[in-house]
Structure 1
Amino acid sequence: MQPMRFDNLYSHDFARLAVGLPLCRVADPAFNAAQTIALLKQAAEDGAAVVAFPELGLSAYTCDDLFHQRALLDSCEAALAQVMAATAEVPTLAVVGMPLRVEQRLFNCAVVLQRGRILGVVPKTFLPNYGEFYEARQFASGEEATVSSVTLLGQVVPFGSRQIFTATDLPLLRLHVEICEDVWTPIPPSSFAALAGATVLVNLSASNVVIGKAGYRRQLVSQQSARCLAAYVYSSAGPGESTTDLAWDGQALVCENGELLVESERFQRRSQLVTADVDLERLARERMRQTSFGQSVRLHAAQLSGFRDASFTLNLALDQPLPLRRRVERFPYVPADASRRDERCQEVYNIQVQGLTQRLASSGIQKLVVGISGGLDSTHALLVAARAMDALGLPRMNIVGVTMPGFATGERTRQQALRLMATVGCEAREIDIRPSCVQMLQDIGHPHREDAPVYDITFENVQAGERTSHLFRLANLTGGLVLGTGDLSELALGWCTYGVGDHMSHYNVNASVPKTLIQHLVRWVAETGQLGEGTDAQVLRDILDTEISPELIPGSLQSTEATVGAYALQDFNLFYTLRHGYAPAKIAFLARHAWTEVYALGEIKRVLRIFVQRFFKGSQFKRSCVPNAPKVGSGGSLSPRGDWRAPSDSEAAVWLADLDRIPDEHA
């Protein structure tokens, strides 16, 4: 693959979308055109691919019967000519609203312009004629049109609501336009447009304001973007509209798949331009992933046959840097907002506890056996086990907690394990596995001797295997179920020993919970007193402050993150690989944006390379046979039964090649 312009958002299938809310004057198209052109140029300077303006923006929405005056209609066409001329100087596609005469009828229209030409004219389909609206008095519905093209400013252009405008140099940018009331109907025209392939849905609106309406608009636009798996750009009439009977707040919105990206300041007496960077690849991938979207396309094939395509070229200047202007969370599995984070933690615990209680109830087993290392994962598993016992009305002493010090177990983690079991109130046992490990090493003929140590992978895995063997046999003895502790991050990186404790168990509550989320879950329990009064929450804080290590080699601290990379970055890589299917170069672009001033791009690439090599080649066989575990989040699971299915013998070459597309000078 060829090197790419790494620092331009358009190189990664983002598109900057803008909404202009110009100051207007009622029935003064020349003034309105000037205001529109000023915002158009501002949008172009800002790197926007598209800018949308309000409904009937060239005339103003509140002209009432003035719409039937030829002088006003002629002036609107002259104003459109000015806007069209201005578009010749910029690459940005503009969508403006105006009244337009067609075959002795008047239509409320959106005109799509770019590079000095009109790409199409879209008439409003649904005309409100209730409450404060009387549009049927002045306008005809687009469904009443008997022509499919019109001559406007000397150009013969497509006319109709079923049009999609596609950027040749950004093919995922496919735009459809509807007008105000269209989106308030049971089946908006944009729903069919999305099924026909439109990824960006634009709504030119006027929409006066009354109490509660702004919130409803927000919900309406957000939900339409979610249902259509699309971006939705909404512009609303702003300052200058007549207040004879109504008021106007100038609300502009851009949503992406149900998420509000940007909103204008309402009730401003000035022109405004708001922009948002929309992830077109995310939308396209969601449509590909959600098979029900494709089923809907087939179901409504008859309604989609009439859509027409028009193409345009943006000339995006990809040789120039254009940084992403969008919030990218450093911890995609963990909400940044404290209240949402607390809600997420509660929900995760409820899901894990529900899964575990159901397994215990259905199996008739009332005891759990958990290996406790004094580290994060086993701590979280024990906390879930305690809540499960509480939910079942069983004593926490039905949990058999076992700490099993080996050759390199530190006194700090050993004491943390003992303190944790004491504060949870479970049965606590300690088994020294060193004698059985020595016997195993001797039995298999391993060269390790006390006076001549050999610290190889076999030496490490003998300890892991002995711990697992003890847990399963203890479960046999006590009539219990072995609770797994390995987490999603470890499964993704293959950082687990096949068939032993961090991989195998009777049931695993952590298998779809990433390391960064486990850290926050444990912290949440400590901070909110979830263990109850009189318990030692400090032990949880001490565990959080402990270096993540397998503790298998004596005499040195084995830092897991020194080997596999920082979990903060690896969970970031995992989320965008598993949830969105992004290629490595885009993940690196997002990570650089999210982790600026923390990780240099060179380190981001190094850690991502580790992820690609470990995730795509050599670790899938471990994931193909994981124990039962509840899927916790929409960020994905690696269970072949619940989510991820992949061959155990695939190659990583294409992902490594994509990572290498980033020019070395950027590293």
Structure 2
Amino acid sequence: MSGFINNGIIEVAAVAPASIQIGNPSYNVDRMLELIGDINIKNSTGERQTRIAVFPELCITGYSCGDLFNHSILINKAMNELMRFVEKSNHEFNPIMFVGIPLRKDNQLFNCAAVIHKGKLLGIVPKTYIPNYGVFYEARNFKSSLDRINDEIAINGVRYPFTPNLLIEDEASGVVIGTDICEDLWAPVPPSSYHCLHGANIIVNLSASNETIGKSDYRRNMIRMHSAKCICGYIYASATSDESTTDNAFSGHCIIAENGYVISETKFFDNKEITYGEIDIEKCINDRTRNSSFMIIREKQEYRYITTKTFDCLTDRFKSNKELSLLPFVPQNMDSRSEEIINIQVTGLAQRLKKIHCDKAVIGISGGLDSTLALMVTVEAFKLNQYDRKGIIGVTMPGFGTTSRTLDNSKKLMEALNVTTFEIPIRDACIQHYKDIQHDINVHDVT
């Protein structure tokens, strides 16, 4: 594992071109180059530090080509345009890019993600789970990665890794990237689960997920929970509305999540082309280290690791583009969070009382916040165990520092909750104690 930059905070992007043409790789790659060019420029000026950029599934041809995928003219053109993208996207401040493309190998067609960085093709990841239900019939055209003959593919005389078990490590940032392609995430055990167990801390997903009623919420929750299970960052880029047909509507839903939380997300059908987000991979790795069950791997797999290096920071000071809450440690859902805390405390105390066969409790009541909370929890615990509240003995002990207001509050609180009340003034006892230890009651700078 390489060292972290920016305290482990990595900026990433889901890139979904709003304008594409089905079956026109030249047009689509032109749009993709425009967007990557914008990212490269912002990186080079220090405005941003985007180190990963993810495009949608089959973005070079368009996902909705149907039986056009069986035509060599389209497949060959897509390959030529992929290599043009590799060459033209090259820049000193390149992110690592994931691009969707159909590729022929072993007399079969595979739905793939091409991994590209600084003018080089690093490898190819074929899709594993091929949907063939509802409005999806990819199995008509594509084969699963499980049907490949070997783990390499020859492109223009050069052999590249060709496996779903391909992890890309960035020496500059410490990021290790694994890949899902659309349906892979919807499987009972997504490939990315294994990727994370073998070192990935960020998962990218090139997707073309259609819209139905409620599906966007389901998709968001699935990504959020998968990132939580894998304790990782997740970058999801989906096809935009230009992919829509009479059978399917696409919205360009892009999501960036981290360990159970959505960091950034496009609005429904707004066709936002670049969605940025910041993922704290150091926090993810720390959480994994603390979770003693995370690395219990029952099924070890063979993985291919490719190392590259993104750009160096222009300055030692990291400029975050993330919007931070003015009260970061105060929950937004205060009411439900408070209720949950109370319920946990009440349940714990009620069970403790029940197990030790105790229906009495003595609580000191000052009229302040802490004792008020303790009394309220105790009352609820007695209620849960169906105990008489008079078994709660509230004791208030006014002394030198007690004001009439706090004393009055403590009495009213105990009366309102119908508990047994005792008032034990301690002023005289304290004066006697001063006398016993021969301490002048007027001297306050000695303890």
Common fold by TM > 0.5: yes
Q: Aligned partner of 2:11: which letter?
A: R
- 1:134 equivalent to 2:131? Answer no
Partner of 2:372, secondary structure, is: helix
Rounded Cα–Cα distance in structure 1 between residues aligned with 2:384 and 2:247:
59
Q: 2:5·2:172 contact (CA, 8 Å) conserved in 1?
A: no
Contact 2:390 2:419 in 1 (8 A): yes
Counterpart of 1:160? 163
Segments of 4+ moved more than 6 angstroms: none
Aligned partner letter, 1:312: T
| Secondary structure of 2:293 counterpart | helix
1:448–1:454 CA contact under 8 A, matched in 2: no
- 1:29 has 2:28 as partner: no
Paired with 1:317 and 1:191, the residues of 2 have a C-alpha distance of 31
- Alignment of 1:105 with 2:96, yes or no, is no
1:555-614 deviation line (CA, Å, top 9, x unaligned): xxxxxxxxxxxxxxxxxxxxxxxxxxxxxxxxxxxxxxxxxxxxxxxxxxxxxxxxxxxx
Cα distance in 1, alignment partners of residues 272 and 366 from structure 2:
61
Using the alignment, how far apart are the partners of 1:313 and 1:230 within structure 2? 20
**Relative contact order, CA 8 A, sep 6+: which one is greater?**
2
**Distance across 1 between alignment mates of 2:154 and 2:359:** 79
Structure-2 separation of matches of 1:325 and 1:10: 16
Partner of 2:440: 449
For residue 60 of structure 1, report the CA deviation from its aligned partner: 0.3
CA RMSD of aligned residues (A): 2.2
> Could you say which residue in structure 1 is the equivalent of 2:322?
325
Determine if the alignment matches structure 1 residue 260 to structure 2 residue 262: yes
1:372 maps to what in 2? 365
| Counterpart for residue 331 of structure 2 | 335
Contact 1:239 1:271 in 2 (8 A): no
Q: Which residue of 2 aligns with 1:424?
A: 417
Partner SS state of residue 448, structure 1: coil
> Identity, % of aligned pairs?
35
2:235 match: secondary structure: strand
**Counterpart of 2:284?**
283
Preserved CA contact (<8 Å) 2:125 2:164? yes
Q: Does the alignment pair 1:356 with 2:341?
A: no
Report which of the two has the higher share of strand: 2
Letter in 2 for 1:26: I
Equivalent residue for 1:300?
299
**CA shift at 1:203, angstroms?**
1.2
**TM-score, length basis structure 2:** 0.91
Amino acid at match of 2:14: V
Structure 2: 5+ residue stretches without partners: 43-47
Instruction: Rate the CA distance shift 1:212–1:408 in 2: closer, same or farther, 3 A.
Output: closer
Q: Which amino acid aligns with 1:56?
A: L
Partner of 1:405: 398
Deviation (angstroms), 1:284:
0.8
Contact preservation (8 Å) 1:389, 1:395:
yes
Note the C-alpha offset of 1:271.
5.1
The code of the aligned residue for 1:21 comes to A
**Contact in 1 for aligned 2:58/2:100 (Cα 8 Å):** yes
Shift of 1:94: 0.9
**Structure 1 Cα separation of the partners of residues 221 and 304 of structure 2:** 30
Q: CA deviation at 1:182?
A: 1.3
Displacement of 1:393 after TM fit? 3.2
Find the residue that maps to 1:240 and give its secondary structure. Answer: helix
- Greater fraction of residues in helix: 1
- In structure 2, the residue matched to 1:66 is 68
**How far off is 1:365 after superposition?**
2.3
The structural deviation recorded for 1:257 is: 1.8
> What secondary structure sits across from 2:253 in the alignment?
coil
Q: Is the 8 A contact 2:252 2:272 kept in 1?
A: no
Hey, what does 2:382 align to over in structure 1?
389
> Which residue type is aligned with residue 163 of structure 2?
G
CA contact (8 A) 1:87 1:94 kept: no
Tell me the amino acid that sits aligned with residue 142 of structure 1.
Answer: S
Q: How does 1:117-266 map to 2 (within 5 A)?
A: 117-152=120-155, 155-171=158-174, 173-266=175-268
Paired with 1:361 and 1:262, the residues of 2 have a C-alpha distance of 47
User: 1:128 is matched by which residue type in structure 2?
Assistant: P
1: CA distance, partners of 2:435 / 2:374:
33
Q: Which amino acid aligns with 1:432?
A: P
Query: Aligned equivalents of 2:326 and 2:149: distance in 1?
Result: 50
Q: Are the equivalent residues in 2 in contact too, given 1:13–1:281 (CA < 8 A)?
A: yes
Equivalent in the alignment of 2:45:
none
Q: Compute the TM-score of the two structures, normalised by the length of structure 1.
A: 0.62
Between the aligned partners of 2:259 and 2:363, the Cα distance in structure 1 is 41
Structure 1 equivalent of residue 274 of structure 2: 273
Q: Give the paired residue count.
A: 435
